[in-house]
Chains A and B, each alone.
Chain A
């Protein structure tokens, strides 16, 4: 009997310093904390291994934070435990996030030896001024050094993360970043646009976005930063992305993701295709057997469960470990997710898949929505698939929310 497929996400909640825009679960920590956390992760894996013995792991993603901040031996311990406790497919995609300033040739060798076959490197901008403003710890020059190290170590599937719509950014400076990154020839480029999230220093400065307008002046708000790009500027920035990356042979396969043929990120695609995934570590989210849940985001609580003092929990296999907020997905939830996650992919969703999974006709169940959105020029259909139009991509949230009940 063949095993079920599973994706693993492992969260490393540490970084050198929190960036001004970042609302991820991450922060600086001392060596002792990091080491204790790595130990706890290993214990968590051990505690769930029985539950997932019927799964074969297709992708692993070590995300953060800055996972590359861990010492080589700590990373090795995590991967070693992973391979002991889970059945990892020989052709699994194993990604690790790294950031300039935390990478050395030795570490890169170790990762390679651990089986990591894909790296995602956070560049964000090729402009030193913009990097400084974002609160990044590195310059473009330091990024290049990291780039050299990982290429020399033999990593041939690498993503570069970029952020557009930065304060003071123009279409020109963004185009320069895109050209610079694309000329290096990474296999994959993620281009997100900045979202000012609550609880970040940027939020203090820029506040809640007015409806649809990002252009706000930051003058007189303490820290003097340029305003966010105005609407027209942002539109220029947005359009430039696809055009420029297209020229370098990157095709857009998801709203914010571009890849050379065959280098699409399988792990992220899994999220959009509703594959089962298990999150390990602080705050990590999971989808298992049509149930969503996530680990506690409270470090003390997490360490209380998996930390050394506890030595694991009494009956780890039957307990819920650090998981909480269980949400059983109803048929309706699943259909909604199928649509709003699937539509993030440029190829959209397949009517036949919908029929196969739910035993219903998508064009019947969402007749009104599909009709309205198609008339509004936001959705299109061809060859049994439904997908976003260019305009639909621009305002995808609007499109998705139409499918929510």
Chain B
């Protein structure tokens, strides 16, 4: 099959017409830090599409935040041309998948756009929980998985053990797995050759009705929505009338093209087997949901590609501008972020303590943190975040069932028949010496033990069912600290379960602070209340009078701390006439006051609202 089209000059390689058998669509899957992005960089570099100058470290993670955190947040794609040892030129479409459980659905859609996957395993760390989860996901999509062992230049590298592990635990043949160092480029050539050899070419009929899978979309202020897609069947070109089968959105194609490194390269058409982008004057990514199928509105296909679902937020919290006057700015910023992030939801709400703000829904805690950081960095907003909450189902005595996303809206206990909370199925991989510590942690977090299996002599997988609200705060941190970083963790949603839950209120100087209320398991309420009070005592600066801090369930006080009255605050030494310095100190103090929220007659620093989120003190 021949794909006609432009043959742009790229990095000195004249692109000849490439037939479908010369296309390789693949992704790289790995546990965090096992070297996925570094390998991607090397592949791009060694296929010669980038000059050294263009080669910014980790080309694919192009959001500043992604580079800093080393996490891929949005799927990315890049097309490169590889001249193989057989003398032929191959078109590689490398699709980078998000690397976090919050974005599991996006991962699955990215995988569906590929025909094969490179599995990167750290030669020292071996197989981790995320590796397993990602491999299973890839196998579910019938991808051919090709293992690669990375970081063999590390002194602690043990490639033979890791090979065995891959074979025993995952059941993949690791005999020929290239032993590489993505950092130095060692043996990466072998990876390129194996991509040609082991990853199947795409199939699909370019003359069939159009069927394209959306695996990501982003909003660009010039082009409108840019849809990232894999053409499964048919051909799309400028002017093709598109129909998104799930959302029902329609638009005529304005431009199609492929992915250069960090740039879009327009071409005449995309046909079956190709990965590329489509623009049409669409204004919102809500219309081009990840997983949806694009077809030709005039010649639609019979049925959409399988697997589409609408992702819903799992975690909610209130976001408030630190400076109340910035409320419209926050709204604008959220609207802009939402253009690119269909999973982000928000609606206006008000809090007695924090004023006007938004209740926002996120896929998970990482998603929340990322949005929060982007708002602060890219939109220069100072934010106050309330404690994250999951969605509780409240069954009222009158038979009504409500989804509770904001603790403040909890009905009076007398109206509640019972409550349910979301549960997850968790897999924790841990070395044997820390099994006890991790089981203790799961126990404390109300985990229900399911099973445990040893994947090798010294490592086991623990299976637990855990309430989602127990892992959204600081479970990752606790897991890492109690296993000295050796445990890895993955989870998926399980469903709702009936539970004894109460609303815990915090009273500061006898006044309830709505932004600090949260829902907690009845059995943990006492402990949590006590910790909250202790934490707040540290965060609230002394004021002119004594301030009681109380935790209460209904009208019952369960914990109390006191912030003593301010005693002494004097700048005694002041001579040599250095007034400017003294003034700076006073200005700093005044600045601190501006960052306070007045609740009743008490000033509460904004960071107090957030510090209570991290209560694990192990």
Contacts and interface: CB of A to CB of B under 8 A. Distances in A.
Contacts of A402: 590
Interface in B524-573: 541-542, 544, 564, 566-573
Contacts of A285: 576-580
A277 interface: yes
A286 B577 contact: yes
Interface stretch (A28-36, A50-58, A219-227, A337-345): A337-345
A18 interface: no
Interface in A163-199: 192-193, 195
A271 B574 CA distance: 9
Contact of A396 (B569, B573, B579, B587): B569
Interface string B569-600: 11111111111100101110110010000000
* Residue of A195, A212, A325 with most partner-chain B CB within 10 A: A212
B579 A292 contact: yes
Given A211-B541, A271-B575, A340-B586, A255 B570 contact: yes
Contacts of A395: 544, 566-570
A63 B566 contact: no
Contacts of B569: 212, 394-398
A294 B576 CA distance: 11
Contact of A256 (B544, B573, B579, B580): B573
A212 B593 contact: no
Given A337-B583, A401-B593, A404-B587, A231 B567 contact: yes
B542 A212 contact: yes
| Most chain A CB neighbours (cut-off 10 Å) among B569, B572, B577 | B577
Contacts of B585: 397
Interface in A346-405: 376, 378, 393-398, 400-402, 404-405
A218 B380 CA distance: 40
Contacts of B542: 211-212
Given A395-B568, A404-B587, A9 B576 contact: yes
B406 to A, nearest CB: 31
Contact of B580 (A212, A235, A294): A294
A195 B579 contact: no
Q: Max chain A CB contacts within 10 Å: which of B568, B571, B586, B587?
A: B568
A145 interface: no
Interface in A271-315: 271, 277, 279, 284-287, 292, 294
Nearest to B593: A401
A143 interface: no
Nearest to A398: B569
Contacts, number: 107
The binding surface of chain A is classed by DSSP as: mixed
Interface residues of B, number: 26
Contact of B589 (A325, A378, A393, A401): A401
B549 to A, nearest CB: 15
A346 to B, nearest CB: 14
A344 B579 CA distance: 13
Contact of A376 (B541, B544, B572, B575): B544
A192 B580 contact: no
A286 B593 CA distance: 29
B385 to A, nearest CB: 22
Contacts of A43: none
Interface residues of A, number: 46
Interface in A200-241: 211-212, 231, 234-235, 238
A234 B573 contact: no
Contact of A394 (B568, B580, B589): B568
A271 B569 CA distance: 21
B567 A192 contact: no
Given A285-B579, A294-B580, A341-B579, A212 B541 contact: yes
B577 A394 contact: no
Contacts of A378: 544
Contacts of B589: 397-398, 401, 404
A337 B582 CA distance: 10
Given A285-B579, A376-B544, A255 B586 contact: no
A287 B567 CA distance: 33
A328 interface: no
A107 interface: no
A11 interface: yes
Contacts of A284: 576-577
A396 B571 contact: yes
A255 B568 CA distance: 12
A89 interface: no
B572 A193 contact: yes
Interface string A141-172: 00000000000000000000000000000000
A185 B586 CA distance: 35
Contacts of B570: 193, 255-256, 393-397
- Give the one of B544, B571, B585, B587 with max A CB within 10 A: B571
Interface string B144-161: 000000000000000000
Nearest to B568: A394
Nearest to B589: A401
A9 B577 contact: yes
Contacts of B573: 192, 195, 256
A405 B587 CA distance: 8
A332 to B, nearest CB: 12
A83 interface: no
Q: Which of B541, B566, B576 has the most CB of A within 10 A?
A: B576
Contact of A287 (B568, B571, B577, B593): B577
A234 B568 contact: yes
A327 interface: yes
B564 to A, nearest CB: 8
Contacts of B568: 193, 212, 234-235, 238, 394-395
Nearest to B581: A285
A396 B567 CA distance: 11
A337 B576 contact: no
Given A294-B580, A337-B583, A404-B587, A398 B566 contact: yes
B592 to A, nearest CB: 9
26 contacts: A63-B575, A193-B568, A193-B570, A195-B571, A211-B542, A212-B542, A212-B568, A212-B569, A231-B567, A234-B567, A268-B575, A284-B577, A285-B576, A285-B578, A337-B583, A376-B544, A393-B570, A394-B568, A395-B566, A395-B567, A396-B571, A397-B569, A397-B585, A398-B566, A404-B586, A405-B590
Given A211-B541, A285-B576, A404-B587, 17 more contacts: A9-B577, A63-B576, A192-B573, A231-B564, A231-B567, A256-B570, A279-B576, A279-B577, A284-B576, A340-B583, A393-B570, A394-B570, A395-B567, A396-B570, A401-B586, A404-B583, A404-B590
The 6 residue pairs across chains A and B that have the minimum distance between CB atoms: A192-B572, A401-B589, A395-B569, A404-B590, A397-B569, A212-B542
